[in-house]
Amino acid sequence: MTDTPVTKEMTIGEVMEKYPVTEDIFKKFFGEGCFTCPGAKTEDIAFGSGMHSVDPDIIVKELNEAIASEA
């Protein structure tokens, strides 16, 4: 079990819905298309990272930092 709210196995849509503060991080790494892509509802962060040639651990770290800064 993890002590961070977001893991790379979570879907992009799930994270954006639960933690709106993460939207800017997804824009930074995946672009604006994330918000209109039907795959965002079913694709996990690891898959999206592979599609955009980004290390998923870096994205997860930034997502969790953004969530922590909101708390």
pTM, 2 dp: 0.88
Q: What is the DSSP letter of 53?
A: T
First to last CA, the chain: 21
Q: What is the mean pLDDT of residues 39-50?
A: 90
pLDDT > 70? residue 67: yes
pLDDT > 70? residue 1: no
SS3 11: strand
Question: What pLDDT score does 4 carry?
Answer: 79
Q: What is the mean pLDDT of residues 3-28?
A: 92
Domain boundaries, the chain: 12-70
- What's the whole-number average pLDDT of the chain? 90
Other CB atoms within 10 Å distance of the CB of residue 38 = 8
pLDDT > 80? residue 34: no
